[in-house]
Structure 1
């Protein structure tokens, strides 16, 4: 695209102010994020007053929400313009080969839409919020962790942006951990010394034991571009906490051989079809009418995934009887209830869960009831709970208090081990990880329990604990109890 580097881009907009970029850089001790903050503050006034930017003011005035927005808006407009230009001739061959590369996912810190243009069927997630609050499936996806030109305020540009980004990085790394565990990861366009690589790998490393960390060695490949005519396969070291992770490094003056290697990989189904299959949320049977339609399709040659109708495996939730009395749910178990409480997307009938499904669950197990009592309108505005005609298992759990969810141990001992315990759930999570959150959250002061942070943590680690085979029985049980505590805090009446 012929874009400037970061310093060159900032210099371009410093020319619109009364000060050269050298001034901003020197005033910031050569920190480009700090320099960007200072420049953005000065550019804010220029943008609102200069006739040069009157057109963009009319279009984007409502998106100018702070002193940094104007600079971000103009950078995005410039990137849009550059993306519409034909590619530089010497890179055309590389680009054409890259289009055919077989990659499951792309993580980028770039703001431009170059990659979306090449992989136009991939789902794009923008910024940390876009990644944290959406489901992704590990195939056919692009993660723009530093924002995108389509959303100017999503850009990670200033010192304040980077501080906010770093504060939530533990969540992001947990979300992206699946990629590093299940796929080889190739860094292209970054060097071993790049802070973005160090930050990503170090944060991922904190989630892994020493044994599992060593397994990343053969999964991480860094393609280090060099001006010199060199093709070399070596190893390099990256610090991860107190350990050193050895990674594979390819030094080259052309990305073409790398792109050709990625293009030669075999994939049985197109990425868009694989993602569509994973994304499908379906009900296999909604009635007992056996005259359904069976459609046979060659997935290898499927072109239009919007028209793809798939029954994949066996439906877990389906209606099995249509009588005057009730409609029961088959296959609904604790996993489905737990997932529904955390993600709020199960579309389950609360009355059927309380009256029918609860009878099929293990007698001594934890399972959530307050969400369904609330949705069935069995909790009055005064906090009274109507348990009429409900099974004993529901009645028993509706009487649970905070103590029913707490593990053994004195709070004083928890504070000594985890000083962040009284600060909040995110502080505890960031300092000690998910294990201590599972063990101790139920003993926190409810007035100091941030439910938004609680929800984020449960979503991030749900599959780590609740997915079949992901954790041992005790770990699953403890995480399930934590979800039931979340259900109690969020929905139960407090007297």
Structure 2
């Protein structure tokens, strides 16, 4: 069988399951063990530094494997040394700030090391260019356990989801998307690297499997840069297979392809291969290759008619309209009841908005206006919001509305908005009652202190933060709190009790003033 025959049987463009072997090839980055060896040597300059940790780990209970336990031991010692020995610090200001807030120095330094050493190997530039070209119409999406940013740098226009939490709580479209299930260096705290991380990951694996199920059923999956015996891959496959019956598993036979690299291989070898997942056999195709250009040329034979990022945009726009029943900046829908539509037609247009679409902003709710200050989920521009939505909203909200962020981004002139912004300083935002009761904050001096100690009671935490004097409110700490609130419940301003809604709105007013108003 030829590789072209395998691709020809694909029912659609494939998903890539992209492993560390690929970025070892293209970026010359170390594998997991090599990464841990590097940081073990940072702790002690000893050729047996890593072996010491491996020996200790081998004598301990390792519920998720040896390497996560080794990583846990190294992280503990590395963090301790990092705080007492400035000579091993390589972090820039933003990560130093995150370490002050509780980020592990080890994870921050791992992210920095990977980013610094992510340099394309000249020998494979042609291969990489071919893979990048495939991303436009020949690849449906990517799932990866890699931390690095190779995919983001070469699959332009794809939407990225980092970690289980973001993937589980986001609507996925299954096209032009990258799922970084073990985290990303852009968010070092998301990295799945030590034993605790893996235990948490395994605990939530059923949710991840449910989210990825449609992709595994609907798309061919090409595993690249992994060993067939890789424990992480086997766990993920198992969590999917456990949800399927034998007939469904049979349908995967022509869709699962494992690509294996052998440096001495001449040409390409294609053969059937079967692995046992518990008591269930899973058949797949095994491709052995030394030159990935042979694989990429074969994949050129399976392509979508439109660029996949455009297809995703169609799906996302339609999904958003279906869920919210609201037009966006890019999509208008005319139903069969619309007098302009004839003969039971449905018309959908995606493109540049017009004045008709902007009229929809007159119906924008205050909660959406406030939420957008934090999460930016409204697709209209700041000028559109100030021109078409502000007038109605400010009347409905007794002349009280955060506007500084929108003014900072707008290109036009909006005198009424500027006048309101001038009036809404810190003292205007908080109430006389809050000023009077500040003495109750004796034990709290920062936003972070309040949030860490009181967030189990959202009403109390959000109320107390507003009691801090202006000089004691750190904008970055407040931003973290607001983002966490909306991550936990994106509809918090609609679903919560009146007191909580009032408190959160007040905090958004403060945030808007401190970050953009001053």
TM-score (norm 1): 0.57
Output one character per residue of 1:206-246: Cα deviation in whole Å (capped at 9) or x when no partner. Answer: 11111111111111000011122242111222222311111
Q: CA deviation at 1:270?
A: 0.9
Tell me the residue number matched to 1:45. Answer: 80
Q: CA deviation at 1:62?
A: 4.4
Larger helix percent: 2
Check conservation: 1:235, 1:247, Cα contact below 8 A.
yes
1:60 to 75, 79, 95: 95
Q: Give secondary structure in 1 for the equivalent of 2:42.
A: coil
1:98 to 131, 138, 142: 131
Tell me the residue number matched to 1:235. Answer: 272
For 1:1-400, list aligned pairs within 5 A.
1-18=27-44, 20-29=49-58, 31-53=66-88, 56=91, 58-64=93-99, 69-83=104-118, 85=119, 87-101=120-134, 102-230=138-266, 231-280=268-317, 281-282=320-321, 283=327, 284=333, 308=352
Hey, what's the Cα distance between the residues in 1 that align with 2:104 and 2:116?
18
- Greater shift in the superposed pair: 277-286 or 255-264: 277-286
For 1:337-486, list aligned pairs within 5 A.
none
Q: CA deviation at 1:265?
A: 2.4
Hey, what's the Cα distance between the residues in 2 that align with 1:72 and 1:238?
34
Check conservation: 1:36, 1:157, Cα contact below 8 A.
yes
Hey, what's the Cα distance between the residues in 2 that align with 1:57 and 1:46?
18
Hey, what's the Cα distance between the residues in 2 that align with 1:65 and 1:174?
36
Residues 1:221 and 1:178: Cα distance change in structure 2 (over 3 Å): same
Check conservation: 1:100, 1:263, Cα contact below 8 A.
no
Output one character per residue of 1:16-62: Cα deviation in whole Å (capped at 9) or x when no partner. Answer: 21361110111111811100000000000121122235562753244
Output one character per residue of 1:447-474: Cα deviation in whole Å (capped at 9) or x when no partner. Answer: xxxxxxxxxxxxxxxxxxxxxxxxxxxx
Q: Give secondary structure in 2 for the equivalent of 1:245.
A: strand
Hey, what's the Cα distance between the residues in 2 that align with 1:58 and 1:142?
28
Check conservation: 2:42, 2:88, Cα contact below 8 A.
no
Which aligned runs of 4 or more in structure 1 are off by greater than 6 angstroms? 65-68, 288-292
How many residues are paired up?
Answer: 304
Tell me the residue number matched to 2:435. Answer: none
Q: CA deviation at 1:65?
A: 7.8
Check conservation: 2:90, 2:109, Cα contact below 8 A.
no
Output one character per residue of 1:56-115: Cα deviation in whole Å (capped at 9) or x when no partner. Answer: 2753244338988211110111111122x3x21221111010011111110001000001
Q: Give secondary structure in 1 for the equivalent of 2:271.
A: strand
Check conservation: 2:90, 2:112, Cα contact below 8 A.
no
Q: CA deviation at 1:187?
A: 0.4
Q: Which has the higher contact order (CA 8 A, sep 6+)?
A: 2
Hey, what's the Cα distance between the residues in 2 that align with 1:65 and 1:154?
17
- Greater shift in the superposed pair: 54-63 or 91-100: 54-63
Q: Give secondary structure in 1 for the equivalent of 2:57.
A: coil
Residues 1:97 and 1:54: Cα distance change in structure 2 (over 3 Å): closer
Residues 1:193 and 1:224: Cα distance change in structure 2 (over 3 Å): same
Hey, what's the Cα distance between the residues in 2 that align with 1:255 and 1:67?
42
Check conservation: 1:73, 1:152, Cα contact below 8 A.
yes
Residues 1:61 and 1:90: Cα distance change in structure 2 (over 3 Å): closer
Residues 1:97 and 1:59: Cα distance change in structure 2 (over 3 Å): same
Output one character per residue of 1:328-380: Cα deviation in whole Å (capped at 9) or x when no partner. Answer: xxxxxxxxxxxxxxxxx9xxxxxxxxxxxxxxxxxxxxxxxxxxxxxxxxxxx
Check conservation: 2:209, 2:239, Cα contact below 8 A.
yes
TM-score (norm 2): 0.54
Q: Give secondary structure in 2 for the equivalent of 1:218.
A: coil
Q: CA deviation at 1:196?
A: 2.3
**Where in structure 2 are there 5+ consecutive unaligned residues?**
1-26, 59-64, 322-326, 328-332, 342-347, 355-359, 361-376, 378-495, 498-518
